Amino acid sequence: MAIQWFPGHMHLTRQAIAERIEDIDVVIELLDARLPGSSANPLLAQLTRRKPALKILNKQDLADTQRTREWLAHYNAQPATRAIALDANQAAAARRLIQACRELAPSRVGMARPMRVLICGIPNVGKSTLINTLVGKRAARTGDEAGITRIEQRIVLEDDFYLWDTPGVLWPRIIVAQSGYHLAASGAIGRNAFDEHEVALELLAVLLRAYPVSLAQRYQIEIDGLNEEAVLAAIARRRGAVAARGQLNLHKASEALIHDFRCGGIGRITLETPQEFALWLEQGKVLDANRQARKEQLVQERMISLPRKRSVPRRPSGP
Ligand code: G4P
C-alpha cells in the first residue's frame, strides 16, 4: 500500500491514557463522520478498559446523512455506548456532548463527584476545533501536527465537568487496507506520507460505487462504463491538467479530487457503511494473522539456518 504509516506519539499517549483512566468516568472518541470505522482507534477499548463511551461523529456537515444515521444506530446498539453527530464549529451542537456524558455516568454530578471525561481522536478529526467551540476561546491550537498538543491537558467545561485532552494519534499497525486510503483522503495522514494517485483511485472506486451522480455532476463528465483510471483521466481533461506534450497530469487531477472530497465539493460523502467496515475488518484480521504467522516462520527458519556461535575457550587467568 502506498501509505507510510507514522503512528506519531502513540507510545506516550498510550501511557498517559493508562495512567489517567482509573479516574475517568466517560471516554469520548471523536470520529470522522465520513469514515467512522477507519477513524476509530482499534486499541482504544483495550486501553480504556471498557469505560462508558461516547462516540462523536464530527464533520457531519460533510457526511452522507443516511449513512451517519446507520453509524449512529450501530454505535448506539453497543453496551455502555452513546453516539452523536455534530459539527465542531457549532456551539449548541458541541454542548450536546455534556448532556450525553451525563446520561452515561448519571452518578457523577456536583463538586464532590465531578464528571471526569477523556477525549481521544486521530489527527485532524477536529478535536481542537471542538474544544475551542466548547470553551469559547482558543484553548487548543487548531491545525496542529500530531504530537504538538501537550500530552495531557485539563479543561473545565462546567464547575463539575472536567475534560482531559490527549494528542491526536494513529495506532501502530494498520489492519484494514481501505482504512489507510480513507484516512489519507480525509487529511489524517500527512501529505508526504501517501501517494495521491493511489488514494484518488481508491476514492474514485467508492464514488463510482456509491455516489456516481454526484461525481458526474461535480466534474460534468460522462462516467457510464468507465473505470477509476478512466474517470481520473476525464477529470484531468476537464480541469485542464495537461502536462508537456499533451500528457495528462494525473497527479494534479488526484490532488483536485482529494481537495474536493475534503471540503465537501463533491457533496456529502461517507466512504464506508458499518456492514462494509465489519467485512473489511474480518478480512483484514485474517490477512494480518497470516502475515504475522509468515513473519514468525521466517524468524524460526533464520534461527535454524544461522550457524551456531562457537564458544571461545576462555584464556586461563593468572600468570
Ligand atoms: P485536530 O485538533 O483534531 O487535529 O483538528 P482541528 O480542530 O485542527 O481541525 C482540523 C480541520 O478540520 C480544520 O480545518 C477544522 O476547521 C476542520 N473541522 C473541524 N471540525 C469540523 C466540522 O465539524 N466540520 C467541518 N466542515 N470542518 C471541521 P482547517 O483549519 O482548514 O485545517 P486543514 O484541514 O485545512 O488542515
C-alpha 111 – ligand 1 centre gap (Å)? 33
C-alpha 290 – ligand 1 centre gap (Å)? 37
Which residue intervals of the chain bear CATH 3.40.50.300? 8-165
Of 69, 186, 185, 67, the C-alpha closest to 121 is 186
Distance CA(111)–CA(159), nearest Å, equals: 7
User: Any idea which of 71-75, 187-191, 197-201, 301-305 has the lowest mean pLDDT?
Assistant: 301-305
Distance CA(163)–CA(285), nearest Å, equals: 34
145 DSSP assignment: P
**Average pLDDT over every residue of 268-283:** 97
Ligand 1 pocket check: which of 13, 29, 124 to mutate, most ligand atoms within 8 Å of Cβ? 124
Bridge partners, 31 (sequence order): 57
Q: 42-101: per-residue pLDDT in tens?
A: 888 888 878 999 999 999 999 999 999 999 999 999 999 999 999 999 999 888 999 999
**Average pLDDT over every residue of 184-195:** 91
Q: 132-187: per-residue pLDDT in tens?
A: 999 886 554 444 344 344 556 789 999 999 999 998 888 888 889 999 999 999 99
Bridge partners, 27 (sequence order): 53, 118
How wide is the angle at C-alpha 207 spanned by C-alphas 201 and 210, nearest 5°? Answer: 140
* Domain boundaries 195-263, corresponding CATH code: 1.10.1580.10
- pLDDT for residue 316: 56
> Which residue's CA is the closest to the ligand 1 atom numbered 19?
126
Of 63, 84, 67, the C-alpha closest to 75 is 84
pTM, whole model, 2 decimals? Answer: 0.88
Residues with CB under 6 A from ligand 1: 58-59, 61-62, 87-89, 121, 123-129, 142-144, 168, 187
* Residue 119 identity: I
The Cα-based distances of 222 to 225, 226, 227, 229, 237 in angstroms read 9, 8, 11, 14, 12
109 versus 12: the higher-pLDDT residue is: 109
**Average pLDDT over every residue of 250-278:** 97
**Average pLDDT over every residue of 181-196:** 92
Strands 81-86 vs 161-165: parallel, antiparallel or unpaired:
unpaired
| Residue 126 grid coordinates | 477536529
Sheet with strand 153-158: strands edge to edge: 81-86, 53-58, 26-32, 115-121, 161-165, 153-158
Q: 201-250: per-residue pLDDT in tens?
A: 999 999 999 999 999 999 999 999 999 999 999 999 999 998 878 899 99
Strands 115-121 vs 26-32: parallel, antiparallel or unpaired:
parallel
In the three-class reduction of DSSP (H, G, I as helix; E, B as strand; rest coil), residue 63 is classed as coil
User: How many contiguous H segments (helices) and E segments (strands) does the chain have?
Assistant: 12, 6
Distance CA(166)–CA(24), nearest Å, equals: 13
Architecture of the structural domain at 8-165:
3-Layer(aba) Sandwich (3.40)
Which residue intervals of the chain bear CATH 1.10.1580.10? 195-263
At a CB cut-off of 8 Å and minimum separation 6, what does 266 contact? 207, 211, 214, 215, 218, 260
